[in-house]
């Protein structure tokens, strides 16, 4: 889909070909930020030129009231009607009427925190609980509206001492068909496959961390939260190591987070602002004012027809080729992942050619095509 602070990139993979993705919808265009304003209850689009558009309002109760976006730009709304018979309602925004329309009439999901669209755009993954207060990750088929339980495997231990039943609240997609879930009872960060299997506890955040936002990209898991000295953390999914993000000049209180405008966008509910955190320098800057408690912050990057990549042996090492009739892609290399500044351009091929021959003497390196 989109997600992440890397440029539009296609990473090279030996002996694999990249598929062609669907074209973007007319509702969202490249670089658009879309979120829910939890005060006005409006779904808001914020364009790169600064234009703000409120599409519609949705019912919000408690921590419910968020959105998810698929690879074509369709917007799905997670609503909570509250009252004595609460239910989490799943709707899709109709781009013609600008009104939300239900995709399911089921009421299996009683309450929910956040949701995402699956990698193949076929279903939604919702973190919440059912009408019997059973905590679960739910699967909602986008075509049929059928609701089902993806997994209830949330049993762990708190501080390695006592049994704990986690409360899935935040969910985000990660690379390799993985999803990351954060619970708001014990601050556990857990990884699953999109099928709800392969559970792995990545990290237990220090007590009494209260998670507020989650975004995965640039090789890291980013979380915002309260009750600790730091307000935003970057977590290494492989090692479990964390480090504070941001310089702390603006974010003394944090809400939801999402990638956008070349950095990490963080809601500051105290000042009704959206703050951009530069992930290289940590600098914090107000980029949007007068919107209260944005939730479900997404930056849309349309999936495009990607070049097909070929890798073959060559006299000096190996040769990389790709089909690019418009000449809009360029090759970059890096000795490591995780830092945007580590990438550099590889010498461009001769005019009219789309082949680069590279020498290789051992070790490892990474290559990508960017627009």
Give residue-wise pLDDT tens across range 176-208: 899 999 999 999 999 999 999 999 999 999 999
Strands 257-260 and 135-141: unpaired
Query: 182 lies in which domain range?
Result: 27-299
Is the separation of the CB atoms in 263 and 275 below 8 Å? no
Give residue-wise pLDDT tens across range 19-48: 333 333 468 999 999 999 888 889 999 999
Is the model's pTM score more than 0.85? no
pLDDT of residue 306: 62
pLDDT of residue 23: 38
Give me 331's structure tokens. Answer: 């090759």
Statement to judge: residues 9 and 135 lie in one domain = no
Residue 260 has pLDDT above 70, yes or no: yes
Average pLDDT over residues 61-74: 84
Statement to judge: residues 319 and 241 lie in one domain = no
Give residue-wise pLDDT tens across range 117-174: 999 999 999 999 998 999 999 999 999 999 999 999 999 989 888 998 999 999 999 9
Statement to judge: residues 264 and 363 lie in one domain = no
Of 139, 126, 135, the residue nearest 153 (C-alpha):
135
Strands 109-117 and 99-102: unpaired
Statement to judge: residues 363 and 243 lie in one domain = no
Query: DSSP for 151-196?
Result: E---EEEETTTEEEE--EEEEEEEGGGEEEEEETTT-EEEEEETTS
Give me 179's structure tokens. Answer: 């999803």
User: Phi first, then psi: what are they for 276, rounded to 5°?
Assistant: -95, 130
Statement to judge: residues 212 and 68 lie in one domain = yes
Looking at 246, 279, 299, which one is the last position of a domain?
A: 299
Give residue-wise pLDDT tens across range 201-233: 999 999 999 999 999 998 899 999 999 988 999
CATH number of the CATH domain containing 215: 2.120.10.30
The tally of domains found in the chain comes to 2
Statement to judge: residues 162 and 205 lie in one domain = yes
Statement to judge: residues 276 and 312 lie in one domain = no
> pLDDT tier at 332 (50, 70, 90 boundaries)?
confident
Which sign does the torsion angle of CA 43, 46, 47, 51 carry? positive
Which sign does the torsion angle of CA 17, 20, 24, 29 carry? positive
pLDDT of residue 62: 63
pLDDT more than 90, % of the chain: 54
Statement to judge: residues 268 and 334 lie in one domain = no
Statement to judge: residues 286 and 308 lie in one domain = no
Average pLDDT over residues 287-297: 85
């Amino acid at each position: 889909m989109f997600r992440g602070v890397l440029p539009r990139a296609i990473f090279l993979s030996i002996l694999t070909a990249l598929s062609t993705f669907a074209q973007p919808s007319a509702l969202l265009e490249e670089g658009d930020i879309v979120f829910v304003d939890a005060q006005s209850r409006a779904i808001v689009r914020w364009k790169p030129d600064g234009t703000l558009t409120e599409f519609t309002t949705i019912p919000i109760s408690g921590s419910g009231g968020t959105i998810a976006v698929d690879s074509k730009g369709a917007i799905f709304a997670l609503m909570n009607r509250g009252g004595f018979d609460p239910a989490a309602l799943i709707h899709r925004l109709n781009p013609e009427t600008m009104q939300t329309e239900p995709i399911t009439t089921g009421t299996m999901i009683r309450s929910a925190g956040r949701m995402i669209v699956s990698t193949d755009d076929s279903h939604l993954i919702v973190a919440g609980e059912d009408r019997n207060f059973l905590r679960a990750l739910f699967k909602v088929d986008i075509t049929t509206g059928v609701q089902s339980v993806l997994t209830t495997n949330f049993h762990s231990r708190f501080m390695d001492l006592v049994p704990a039943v986690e409360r899935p609240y935040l969910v985000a997609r990660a690379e390799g068909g993985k999803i990351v879930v954060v619970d708001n009872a014990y601050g556990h960060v857990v990884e699953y496959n999109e099928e709800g299997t392969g559970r792995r506890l990545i990290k237990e955040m220090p007590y009494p961390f209260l998670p507020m936002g989650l975004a995965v990209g640039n090789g890291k898991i980013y979380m915002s939260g309260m009750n600790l000295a730091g307000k935003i953390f970057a977590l290494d999914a492989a090692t479990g190591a964390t480090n504070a993000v941001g310089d702390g000049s603006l974010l003394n209180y944090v809400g939801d987070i999402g990638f956008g405008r070349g950095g990490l966008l963080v809601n500051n509910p105290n000042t009704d602002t959206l703050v951009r955190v530069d992930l290289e320098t940590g600098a914090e800057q107000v980029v949007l004012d007068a919107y209260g408690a944005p939730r479900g912050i997404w930056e849309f990057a349309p999936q495009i027809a990607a070049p097909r990549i070929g890798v073959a042996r060559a006299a000096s090492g190996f040769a990389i080729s790709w089909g690019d009739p418009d000449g809009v892609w360029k090759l970059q290399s890096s000795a490591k992942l995780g830092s945007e500044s580590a990438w550099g351009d590889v010498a461009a091929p001769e005019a009219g050619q789309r082949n680069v021959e590279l020498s290789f003497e051992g070790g490892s390196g990474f290559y990508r095509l960017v627009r």
